[in-house]
Amino acid sequence: MKYKIIAMGHGGEFVGEVLTKEQYEYWSSGQENLEEYFFTWSDDLEEDYSHLAKEVDFKDGREWHDVDSFMHTSGPDTSCRILVEDENGNEVYDGDLPEDPELETDDYEDKMEDQFYVIGYSHEKGGYDYSEFELSDGEEFDINKLVVHVDVVPYSGNVITGFSYGDQDIYCEGGNTTGKSMGVDIYED
């Protein structure tokens, strides 16, 4: 039988870019509004920020979601609600992840040591749809066998990037989310 997972709740899209010391000092000094710059559409960057020295222009004409030299991830937070339906639309699970689920993680904090960087994000709320997976005849879905693939986003939490069940990988296929807030932060590690 085939099954489908829907994760519902808060999540988002997160990007991270390594900065030079000069870029970090410029943008952390408050001379310019970092958030306005970061979320300015690429079509408007040249006109709105033509005064910027090339050395401090870390977006280099890119949209905010492409400013991702060391991190780009999206998905629901691990606190989301999990709904699993079979191929007939019958609900077989509706609840939280198990208290101590098996996790496979990618920790972006490991990539940030001794760096200057910026992290931009769009916080979302809604449902995230995942690809179908199939169990052999007679096998019932068991939430405790679901492996959760997680990206550890610095200063933000854990983002579910997918699942696996047995030898089957289960990928996010999109969803129906609404942006709730956007922001950008600058850090020195």
* 36-80 pLDDT per residue, tens: 999 999 889 888 988 999 999 999 999 999 999 989 999 999 999
Provide the domain limits for residue 125: 2-188
**Between 79 and 107, whose confidence is greater?**
79
Long-range residue pairs from 85-90, CB within 8 A, at least 24 positions apart, any chain = 85/3, 85/4, 85/6, 86/1, 86/2, 86/3, 86/141, 87/1, 87/2, 87/3, 87/4, 87/132
Is the model's pLDDT at 143 over the cut of 90?
Answer: yes
Is the model's pLDDT at 109 over the cut of 80?
Answer: no
In the chain, the number of structural domains is: 1
**Between 146 and 106, whose confidence is greater?**
146
pTM: 0.88
